[in-house]
C-alpha cells in the first residue's frame, strides 16, 4: 500500500504534466478542433461550448448542429447574460468556446463580451457572436471588443450545420489570433 | 479861421439885406409866389419823413432800415433849406443856410454811396408778385410733403414700423407717428426724453441691454441692429427690431442717432412656432425611423425562424406528401424569403436615416475595389464586364459608399439586356459648384441650409460619379419614381428585388449633401451622383 502510494505519487504529476503538454500542443498546433477532440477521445475530455441565447429554438438548433458533427462536443446553455456570468463563476471548468447572441434582455451580448474580456481568468476564451443583425456598427463594436468571429444567424438549418462544421474545422489557435475586420464576419464557403 | 467866423456869426445878418430889399425886381406877387412855393415844398418834404418814420415804426421787420432813415434825413434836410430860403425874405441868415445846404449835400452823398452799395442787393429782392408765386409753389410743395408724410405714416403703420431721431446734444428724441402707434402712446408733437419717457416702456430686465447697445453704437460709431421688448400700456409685450445709423460731426463726435423701430412680434412668434414645429417634426420623424428600425429588427427574428423551420420541414420524409402540399410549401418558402428581404431592406433603409453617419477621409477607389471583391460571385455568374476609371478621395462614410456602389452595380447587373453580358462603366470627374446645372437639386439643398447667406457654394468642389450600364433602361417619366422606396417598375417574376436599392442610394447621396439622378436611353442608363468633396463647411454651418 505504502509502496503503491509511493509508486503512484511521482507518476501522477508526470501524467498530469504530460496531459498538460498535450493540451499545449493541441492549443498551439494548426490542427482543427475536430481533429483535436478526435485525438483526445481516449482521455475523455469533451470540447465544451457554451451557447448564450434567450431564444430556446436557436439554442436547440445550434446545439443539434454541433452535436451532429461530433459526440465529443458538450454544449451547455445560458439563457441570458446574467445566467452566463453566474454559470461561469460556478463552473468547475471554463468552456472552450462561448457563442453569444447580442440582443438579449437584461445583460446583453455586448455587456457579456465586455465582462468576459475584462476578466483576466477567462479573457482568453474564444467568443463567437451569433446574431440576427447585420448592422455594421454592431459588427464594428464586437470586433473592437475582442470577439473572435461574427456570425449572422442564417435562415436555414443546413446553413446552421455548415456553421457548426466550419467552427469545428477551425484550429482553436485561430480563434485567438487577431484578424482583419473584413475577415471578422464568418463566411460559409 | 473862416469856418470859426462862420459858426460864431451863424445867425448874424449884418451886411445882408432881407431878400425883399435885394435888388429892384421883387414884386409883391413874385415874392409871395417864391415864398409860397418854397413853403409848399418844405411842408411836403416835412411830411414825407414823418410818413417814412411811421412806416418804419409800424413795420419793424424790414430790409435796409438805414436806407429808409437816410432817405428820411435827406428829404427832411432838403425841406429845411426850402424853409430857410423862404425865411431869408425877412431874416437873411445866409451863413446858417450855407451850413444847412452843406449838411444836405453831405447827407445826399451818404445816401448816394449807400444806394450804390446796396442797389445790387436790393435788385435781387423779390417783388411782391414774385413773392406771391413763391408762396404758391411753397404751398403746393408743402401739400405734397404732407401727402408723402401721410403715405409714410400709412406705410409705417402697415409695416408696424416707426422712425426715430435722437439728438444726443440736446437729448431730444423725435418719433414718427408709427413709433407712437407701436408703443401705443398718444401722439405728441414735442420731443421726448429717452430716460424719462421711453425707457420705462422697456421691461426692467431688458433695460441694461438696451442702454448697453446704444452706448456701444455711440462708442464704436457704428449701429448694429438689435431686438428688445416693450410693454404697452395695455400690458402687451412686443418685440421691437431696431435698425439705425450714427451721425458724426466734423470733429468725429457722434451727435445724432437715427433709425427705425419695427414691431416684429408676429414675425418672431411665427419664427418661434416654425422652429418648435420643425423640431417636433424632426422628433416625430426620428421616432418613425427609429420605429421602422426597431420594428424591422424585431420582425427579423420570427421571419428567420419561419424560414429555418421550413428548411427543417423540407428535410423530413416527403414520400406521403402530394404535389399540392409540395407546391404550397414552395410558395410559403418564397413568400417568407421575400418577406425577409423586405424586412432587411426596411432595416437598412431606416438605419441610414436613424444613425448619424461618421464622416472620414475615404478612398472611393479602395471602397469600390472591396465591393467588387465582395460581389465576385455575382459578377462572375453574370459575366459582367466592369471598367473603372479614377475615383478620388472624399470626405464620407465608407460603409455607406460601399452600399451605394453595391446597389448601383447590382442594379446594372440585374437590368442587363436579355441575352447579353452586362457592361458597366464607372468613372468620375471633379466639378465646381457653378458648373452644375441650375436645375440640379444640389443648389436647393444648400440654399435650404442657408449656405447662400454667407458661402459661395459655386466655389465648392464636387465629385460627379457616373455609373453607366448598357441595360434595358427605363421610361423617362419614371426617372424620379425609381428612387422612391419600394417602387418597382417590373414584376417580381421578371426581376427580383424589393425596390429599395435606389432609395438607399438616394439617401446616401443626400446624407452626403449631394444628390443622385438617372438618365436613360435605348443605350442604357447613366446614374449620376454628385457630392461635395469636403463636408467640413457644411458641418460648421450646422454646428453654429
Of B80, B104, B124, the position where a domain reaches its end is: B124
Distance from CA of A155 to the nearest CA of B (A): 5
Which chain B residues contact residue A156 at CB under 8 A?
A: 307-308, 310-311
> A133 and B300 in contact by Cβ < 8 A?
yes
Structural domain boundaries enclosing B206:
159-263
**Contact by Cβ (8 Å): B424, B412:** yes
- pTM for the model stands at 0.52
Cα A83 off chain centre by: 17
pLDDT at B536: 67
Write the ipTM.
Answer: 0.70
Residues B288 and B170 in one domain: no
Which chain B residues contact residue A158 at CB under 8 A?
A: 311, 315
Residue B129 falls inside a structural domain = no
Residue B111 to residue B108: CA distance in whole angstroms: 5
- A90 in contact with B at a CB cutoff of 8 Å? no
Which chain A residues contact residue B297 at CB under 8 A?
A: 103, 132-133
Q: Give the single-character DSSP code of A134.
A: -
pLDDT at B445: 47
Residues B344 and B229 in one domain: no
Which chain A residues contact residue B366 at CB under 8 A?
A: none
Interface residues on B facing A, Cβ-Cβ cutoff 8 A: 297, 300-301, 303-305, 307-308, 310-312, 315, 340, 344, 351, 355, 370, 399
- Ordered strands of the B515-521 beta sheet: B385-388, B423-432, B461-469, B524-532, B515-521
Which residue ranges of chain B lie beneath pLDDT 50?
Answer: 438-439, 443-455, 540-544
Distance from CA of A153 to the nearest CA of B (A): 8
> B315 and A132 in contact by Cβ < 8 A?
no
Domains and CATH numbers, chain A: 31-184 (3.40.50.2300)
* Stretch among A14-18, A77-81, B72-76, B144-148 having the lowest mean pLDDT: A14-18
Residues B348 and B245 in one domain: no
Cell numbers at residue A133, please? 443583425
Residue B181 falls inside a structural domain = yes
Choose the closest CB to A156 out of B300, B301, B311. B311
Residues B382 and B514 in one domain: yes
Residues B291 and B246 in one domain: no
Pairing of strands A127-131, A149-152: parallel
Residues B390 and B492 in one domain: yes
CB pairs under 8 A between A and B: 36
Residue B520 to residue B469: CA distance in whole angstroms: 10
Choose the closest CB to B304 out of A103, A155, A182. A155
Residue B368 falls inside a structural domain = yes
Choose the closest CB to B304 out of A135, A137, A153. A153
SS (H, E, C) B20-83: HHCCCCCCHHHHHHHHHHHHHHHHHHHHHHHHHHHHHHHCCCCCCHHHHHHHHHHHHHHHHHHH
Of B263, B283, B310, the position where a domain reaches its end is: B263
- DSSP assignments along A91-130, one per residue: -SS--SEEEE-S--SSS-HHHHHHHHHT-TTTTTS-EEEE
**Contact by Cβ (8 Å): B175, B162:** yes
Choose the closest CB to A132 out of B304, B312, B351. B304
CATH of the domain at B212: 3.30.450.20
Choose the closest CB to A155 out of B340, B351, B399. B340
- b/e per residue B379-412 (b: at least 16 CB within 10 A): beebebebeeeebeebbbbbbbbbbbbbbbbbbb
Of B311, B334, B355, the position where a domain reaches its end is: B355
Residue B263 to residue B267: CA distance in whole angstroms: 9
- DSSP assignments along B171-235, one per residue: TEEEE-HHHHHHHT----SS-B-IIIIIGGGS-HHHHHHHHHHHHHHHHHT-PPPEEEEEE-TTS
Residues B398 and B480 in one domain: yes
Which chain A residues contact residue B308 at CB under 8 A?
A: 57, 61, 154-157, 160
Residue B239 falls inside a structural domain = yes
Residues B168 and B54 in one domain: no
Cell numbers at residue A95, please? 468552456
SS3 A38: helix
Residue of A nearest to B352 (CA): A135
- A116 in contact with B at a CB cutoff of 8 Å? no
CATH of the domain at B462: 3.30.565.10
Residues B292 and B259 in one domain: no
Residue B150 falls inside a structural domain = no
> Is A1's pLDDT higher than 50?
no
Best mutation target, A151, A157, A162, to test chain B (most B CBs within 10 A): A157
Confidence grade of residue A41 (pLDDT, cut at 50, 70, 90): low
pLDDT at A53: 92
> Is A6's pLDDT higher than 70?
no
Residues B350 and B366 in one domain: no
> A155 and B355 in contact by Cβ < 8 A?
no
Average pLDDT of the residues in A86-109: 86
- Phi (first) and psi of residue B534, to 5 degrees: -120, 140
Q: What is the number of structural domains in chain B?
A: 4
Residue of B nearest to A57 (CA): B305
Q: Which helix (H) or strand (E) holds B509?
A: helix B501-511
pLDDT at B391: 94
**Contact by Cβ (8 Å): A111, A80:** no
Residues B368 and B331 in one domain: no
Q: How many CB atoms lie within 10 A of CB B329?
A: 15
Which chain A residues contact residue B315 at CB under 8 A?
A: 157-158
Distance from CA of A159 to the nearest CA of B (A): 9
CATH of the domain at B301: 1.10.287.130
Helix axes B323-354, B265-315, angle to 10 degrees: 150
Q: Which helix (H) or strand (E) holds B87?
A: helix B65-87
Residues B33 and B173 in one domain: no
Which chain B residues contact residue A130 at CB under 8 A?
A: none
pLDDT at B457: 60
> A182 and B370 in contact by Cβ < 8 A?
yes
Which chain B residues contact residue A155 at CB under 8 A?
A: 303-304, 307-308, 311, 340
Residue B133 falls inside a structural domain = no
Residue B510 falls inside a structural domain = yes
Closest CA to B424 of B406, B440, B436: B406
Distance from CA of B499 to the nearest CA of A (A): 20
Residue B136 falls inside a structural domain = no
Which chain A residues contact residue B313 at CB under 8 A?
A: none
Distance from CA of A61 to the nearest CA of B (A): 9
Pseudo-torsion of CA A45, A51, A57, A63, nearest 10°? -20
Pseudo-torsion of CA B333, B338, B339, B342, nearest 10°? 160
Radius of gyration of chain B (CA): 52
Amino acid at each position: 500500500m505504502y509502496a503503491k502510494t509511493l509508486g503512484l505519487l511521482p507518476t501522477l504529476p508526470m501524467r498530469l504534466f504530460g496531459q498538460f503538454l498535450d493540451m499545449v500542443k493541441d492549443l498551439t498546433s494548426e490542427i482543427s478542433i475536430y481533429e483535436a477532440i478526435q485525438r483526445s477521445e481516449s482521455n475523455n475530455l469533451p470540447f465544451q461550448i457554451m451557447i448564450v441565447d434567450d431564444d430556446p429554438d436557436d439554442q436547440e438548433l445550434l446545439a443539434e448542429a454541433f452535436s451532429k458533427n461530433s459526440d465529443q462536443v458538450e454544449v451547455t446553455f445560458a439563457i441570458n447574460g446574467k445566467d452566463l456570468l453566474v454559470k461561469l463563476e460556478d463552473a468547475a471548468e471554463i468552456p472552450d468556446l462561448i457563442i453569444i447572441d447580442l440582443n438579449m434582455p437584461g445583460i446583453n451580448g455586448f455587456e457579456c463580451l465586455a465582462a468576459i474580456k475584462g476578466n483576466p481568468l477567462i479573457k482568453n476564451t474564444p467568443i463567437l457572436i451569433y446574431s440576427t443583425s447585420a448592422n455594421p456598427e454592431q459588427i464594428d463594436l464586437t470586433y473592437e471588443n475582442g470577439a473572435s468571429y461574427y456570425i449572422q444567424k442564417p435562415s436555414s438549418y443546413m446553413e446552421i450545420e455548415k456553421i457548426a462544421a466550419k467552427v469545428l474545422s477551425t484550429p482553436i489557435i485561430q480563434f485567438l489570433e487577431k484578424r482583419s475586420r473584413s475577415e471578422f464576419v464568418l463566411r460559409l464557403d | 479861421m473862416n469856418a470859426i467866423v462862420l459858426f460864431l456869426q451863424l445867425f448874424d445878418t449884418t451886411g445882408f439885406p432881407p431878400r425883399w430889399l435885394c435888388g429892384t425886381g421883387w414884386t409883391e406877387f413874385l415874392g409871395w409866389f417864391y415864398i409860397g412855393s418854397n413853403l409848399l415844398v418844405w411842408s411836403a418834404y416835412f411830411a414825407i419823413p414823418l410818413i417814412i418814420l411811421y412806416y418804419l415804426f409800424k413795420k419793424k421787420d424790414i430790409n435796409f432800415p438805414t436806407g429808409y432813415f437816410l432817405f428820411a434825413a435827406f428829404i427832411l434836410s432838403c425841406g429845411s433849406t426850402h424853409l430857410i430860403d423862404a425865411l431869408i425874405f425877412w431874416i437873411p441868415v445866409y451863413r446858417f443856410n450855407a451850413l444847412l445846404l452843406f449838411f444836405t449835400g453831405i447827407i445826399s452823398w451818404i445816401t448816394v454811396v449807400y444806394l450804390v452799395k446796396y442797389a445790387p442787393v436790393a435788385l435781387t429782392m423779390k417783388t411782391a408778385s414774385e413773392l406771391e408765386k413763391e408762396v404758391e409753389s411753397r404751398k403746393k410743395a408743402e401739400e405734397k410733403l404732407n401727402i408723402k408724410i401721410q403715405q409714410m405714416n400709412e406705410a409705417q403703420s402697415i409695416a408696424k414700423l416707426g422712425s426715430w431721431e435722437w439728438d444726443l446734444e440736446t437729448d431730444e428724441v423725435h418719433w414718427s407717428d408709427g413709433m407712437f402707434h407701436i408703443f401705443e402712446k398718444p401722439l405728441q408733437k414735442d420731443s421726448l426724453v429717452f430716460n424719462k419717457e421711453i425707457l420705462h416702456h422697456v421691461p426692467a430686465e431688458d433695460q441694461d441691454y438696451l442702454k448697453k447697445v446704444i452706448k456701444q453704437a455711440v462708442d464704436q460709431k457704428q449701429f448694429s441692429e438689435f431686438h428688445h421688448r416693450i410693454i404697452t400700456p395695455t400690458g402687451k409685450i412686443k418685440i421691437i427690431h431696431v435698425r439705425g445709423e450714427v451721425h458724426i460731426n466734423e470733429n468725429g463726435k457722434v451727435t445724432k442717432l437715427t433709425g427705425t423701430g419695427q414691431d416684429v412680434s408676429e414675425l418672431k412668434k411665427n419664427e418661434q412656432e416654425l422652429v418648435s414645429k420643425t423640431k417636433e417634426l424632426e422628433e416625430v420623424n426620428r421616432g418613425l425611423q427609429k420605429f421602422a428600425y426597431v420594428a424591422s429588427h424585431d420582425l427579423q427574428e420570427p421571419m428567420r425562424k419561419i424560414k429555418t423551420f421550413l428548411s427543417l420541414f423540407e428535410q423530413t420524409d416527403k414520400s406521403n406528401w402530394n404535389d399540392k402540399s409540395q407546391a404550397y410549401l414552395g410558395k410559403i418558402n418564397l413568400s417568407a424569403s421575400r418577406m425577409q428581404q423586405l424586412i432587411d431592406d426596411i432595416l437598412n433603409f431606416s438605419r441610414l436615416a436613424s444613425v448619424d453617419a461618421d464622416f472620414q477621409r475615404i478612398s472611393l477607389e479602395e471602397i469600390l475595389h472591396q465591393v467588387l471583391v465582395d460581389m465576385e460571385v455575382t459578377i462572375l455568374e453574370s459575366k459582367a464586364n466592369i471598367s473603372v476609371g479614377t475615383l478620388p478621395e472624399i470626405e464620407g462614410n465608407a460603409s455607406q459608399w460601399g452600399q451605394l456602389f453595391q446597389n448601383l452595380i447590382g442594379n446594372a447587373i440585374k437590368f442587363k439586356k436579355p441575352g447579353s453580358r452586362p457592361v458597366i462603366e464607372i468613372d468620375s470627374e471633379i466639378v465646381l459648384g457653378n458648373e452644375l446645372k441650375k436645375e440640379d437639386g444640389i443648389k436647393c439643398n444648400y440654399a435650404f441650409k442657408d449656405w447662400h447667406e454667407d458661402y459661395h457654394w459655386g466655389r465648392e468642389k464636387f465629385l460627379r460619379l457616373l455609373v453607366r450600364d448598357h441595360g434595358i433602361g427605363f421610361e423617362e417619366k419614371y426617372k424620379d419614381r425609381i428612387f422612391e422606396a419600394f417602387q418597382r417598375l417590373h414584376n417580381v417574376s421578371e426581376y427580383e428585388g424589393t425596390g429599395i436599392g435606389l432609395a438607399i442610394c438616394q439617401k446616401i447621396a443626400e446624407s452626403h449633401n449631394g444628390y443622385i439622378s438617372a438618365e436613360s436611353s435605348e443605350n442604357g442608363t447613366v446614374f449620376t451622383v454628385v457630392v461635395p468633396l469636403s463636408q467640413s463647411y457644411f458641418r460648421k454651418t450646422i454646428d453654429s
